[in-house]
Structure 1
Amino acid sequence: MVAKSGSQYDAAYARVGLLIYLHEGTSRATISRIGGLARSTVGHQVDKLIEIGLIEERFSQSDGPGRPARGLHVRADAGYVAGVDLETGGARLALANLKGTIVEEIVLKLSIEDEPSKVLTRICDTISQMRGGLDLACLKQTVIGIPAPVDFARGRPVRPPMMTRWDDFPVRDFAQQILGSPVTVENDTNLAAIAESTQQHAYLPLVFLKVASGIGVGIISSDGQVFRGYDGAAGDIGHVQILAQDDRVCRCGKSGCLEAVASITAILDELEIATSDTTIDHAEQLQALLRVGDKRAFQAVHSAARQIGSVASGIIQILNPRMLVVGGAYPEIHDELLSGIRSVVYERAMPLSTRDLILTPSRLGPRAEICGAIELACQQIWSVEMLPTLVESFNHIKPNTACV
């Protein structure tokens, strides 16, 4: 939402708030210089932000004889953002302050094959119970990650193979009605890509390759933006046909898909390890086999890795990323997959596409998606477009009231 002309929540106001968030602890003079704004403008807008309790100004420690400098800081207790990572067998929920620091995390057991209204109601009710009973006026933004293509503008899944009841369900609008604050819906792999792109020593463009019960990639461009494609289907590589004669039927109804022959579920099926909604639990059995050197397990993972690597090499050839991050699987499975994927990528992709490529495991592991959800939530509330909405929300609580 963009503030109307003449509103106290104008563009300069929003820009000052964004700069304080991005440059935590800096002074008014520095904000003025970085933002190209008059000192009087910055001072006026900072005073407003302090008055409503979103920002605080405090003296910093001084190492020298001069007066201590005054720095601007986001008030950690001014509100919360929530993140949700919805998986095949459950959901991970996190609550963070407005700086993005996670203060509570919960894992729920549930099935995404249930009615979406039932699943979302349970998730939203759980969010409201966090921190001993959350005042929803303190919740400023929620990001829900789902394992499916997403119509980002409308907040709805689009023909999700693993979530057949969810097709075109108004996830964003349904959750917003319960929580009473903005909700964003995003593909889970895109969230993992966002999280990995914000880590120290990350390089852009970045591609995050997730190998789990499904297979997909999240793409972060050189300017740090998520590439979603026209209908939100960008990166859905699990349904690329790689074996035309293979009779294994994929969840999408077609045969020979990468997901049907190389996902963790496919590897478990080949080894005759029973799978269910809690595929991750059964993946522990595969991890145990690799740990003791089981030959069949190594062969199955190696074969899957080569199939994934052949598709990944095409992605690298087309997108030419600086970094390819592989995640989604358990450590032992992950190491074997990474080794196989790397060998095929360097074998098949052209030297110009791989000469500076960094191919690395995920630094965040199974928490990449939830960290990405929190990161995206903070990016949104502090954006120039959405900050007026954040500020307006403080009209519903007492000025300078802490959300604890």
Structure 2
Amino acid sequence: MRQAAAQPSAGHLLWLIRTGRAHTRAELQQRTGLARSTVSQRLDALRAGGFLRVGGVDSSTGGRPPSRLEFDYQQGVVLAADLGATHARLGVFDLAGAALAESVSRLRISDGPGKVLGWVTAELRSLLDRAGQPANRVRGVGLGVPGPVESGTVRQPPIMPGWDGYPIAEHLGRDWGVPVLVDNDANVMAFGEYAGGYPDCPSLVLVKVATGIGAGLVLDGAVYRGIDGGAGDIGHVRVDATSRARCMCGSLGCLAALASGTALAERLTAGGIPAAGGKEFVELVRAGIPEAVGLAREAGRLVGEVLSTVVCLVNPQVLVIAGDVAETQFVTGVREVLYQRALPRATRNLAVVTSELGDRAGVLGLRAMVVDAVYAPEAVDRLLEARH
């Protein structure tokens, strides 16, 4: 015997309001099919829990204008830390995404989880003080890392020695006592670009070219991670079977070993023009140094080869090129090969763009992901149930 479908819960009503799908009691009734009395009861519970506020009145077709319901974005804050191989951006945000305090610092992810996570907590506490926010207003923490993540744990990261299997969420959870979300840096950047610039896009791919190379996919509004977090790891696709360039994963001829910012800086240095890393390489490209310009375009072509397969497989609407190298002739090289190799049907509605959010894409994506997780219908229902 088929069971009757469960009625939409209070958490589901909040989700409809928070995502802009409904703004009034009447719209909630229409969306859910719930009786007016049931909607009122669940809205009362949400108000008592501090999740809702009345934001004025909506337009009326006659009679008294209906009250406009809004998610209370002022009820707490979210902490975000986007860690790269050599730099970190951290921030305190309200639940709507407004930045209350941010910082950018140098770090070495290779220093290991104990030292790095201790620094992250100390820096976040400093930012909270700067924002004038007490720790008890923190609702969740998001952490982006430059390595593959499976169920919140880093697994076999090529550029993160000592992090494999480390319980990051548990560590930060002890520090903060709130939910902690951990994800790959390309995933959080992709979600940041999606939420900030393309919220109606059904399929977005972001490729980040920095110390390494990785991609993030947002399909139907959700990050696609694959069966164990390995989706988007294009930096380790072998693109040159004859190359002796060794990747940090141990293989030869990987895309990251030939086209990442680190690899390009090393190749330029070997040619007699010193470049300490990807950022220095980009500066030389912008200065018009012919050897650097040539390497940037060549690297773009290599990435374009791999992306032509990605585009044919995923058929995205938007392809975002991000990272240190994205502002150079590198993008010209990507477009050059991508449109040659990919089927016209796969590219006719494709927009190839550079990142609008730049270095902030990661923390903004983490903010949005944490809010979606902390205020998911089932999570809100658990919080309301715990209050009774």
- What TM-score results when the alignment is normalised by the length of structure 2? 0.89
Contact 2:191 2:223 in 1 (8 A): yes
Distance 1:162 1:205, change over 3 A: same
| 1:353 partner letter | A
Q: Does 1:189 align with 2:186?
A: yes
Q: Secondary structure at the match of 1:302?
A: helix
Q: Secondary structure at the match of 1:71?
A: strand
Q: Secondary structure at the match of 1:243?
A: coil
Task: Give the match for residue 308 of structure 2.
Answer: 313
Contact 1:15 1:35 in 2 (8 A): no
Q: Secondary structure at the match of 1:386?
A: helix
Contact 2:45 2:384 in 1 (8 A): no
Distance 1:88 1:184, change over 3 A: same
Whole-angstrom CA distance in 2 between matches of 1:350 and 1:340: 17
Distance 1:316 1:199, change over 3 A: same
Task: Give the match for residue 135 of structure 2.
Answer: 136
Whole-angstrom CA distance in 1 between matches of 2:40 and 2:135: 31
Of all paired residues, the percent bearing the same amino acid is 34
CA shift for structure 1 position 182: 0.6
Contact 1:21 1:99 in 2 (8 A): no
Task: Give the match for residue 160 of structure 1.
Answer: 157
Q: What are structure 1's unaligned runs of at least 5 residues?
A: 1-9, 396-404
Whole-angstrom CA distance in 1 between matches of 2:230 and 2:290: 37
Distance 1:120 1:73, change over 3 A: same
CA shift for structure 1 position 23: 2.1
Contact 1:137 1:393 in 2 (8 A): no
Point out the more displaced range, 94-103 or 115-124: 94-103
Q: Does 1:145 align with 2:124?
A: no
Q: Secondary structure at the match of 2:319?
A: strand
Contact 2:91 2:127 in 1 (8 A): no
Q: Secondary structure at the match of 1:251?
A: coil
Question: Higher RCO, 1 or 2 (CA under 8 Å, sep at least 6)?
Answer: 1
Q: Does 1:286 align with 2:284?
A: no
Whole-angstrom CA distance in 2 between matches of 1:393 and 1:101: 29
CA shift for structure 1 position 307: 0.8
Alignment of 1:108-147 (within 5 A): 108-132=105-129, 134-147=133-146
Task: Give the match for residue 21 of structure 1.
Answer: 18
Task: Give the match for residue 83 of structure 1.
Answer: 80
Point out the more displaced range, 60-69 or 96-105: 60-69
Whole-angstrom CA distance in 2 between matches of 1:42 and 1:63: 20
| 1:31 partner letter | L
CA shift for structure 1 position 65: 10
Contact 2:296 2:328 in 1 (8 A): no
Contact 1:120 1:175 in 2 (8 A): yes
Task: Give the match for residue 5 of structure 1.
Answer: none
Q: Does 1:344 align with 2:337?
A: yes
Task: Give the match for residue 215 of structure 2.
Answer: 217
Alignment of 1:249-328 (within 5 A): 249-272=246-269, 279=277, 283=279, 285-328=280-323
CA shift for structure 1 position 164: 1.3
Whole-angstrom CA distance in 2 between matches of 1:56 and 1:308: 48
Q: What are structure 2's unaligned runs of at least 5 residues?
A: 1-6
State the aligned residue count.
376
Distance 1:390 1:336, change over 3 A: farther
Contact 1:136 1:180 in 2 (8 A): no
- What TM-score results when the alignment is normalised by the length of structure 1? 0.86
CA shift for structure 1 position 130: 2.8
Q: Does 1:386 align with 2:352?
A: no
Question: What's the Cα RMSD here?
Answer: 2.4
Whole-angstrom CA distance in 2 between matches of 1:64 and 1:31: 17
CA shift for structure 1 position 181: 0.6
Whole-angstrom CA distance in 1 between matches of 2:97 and 2:283: 35
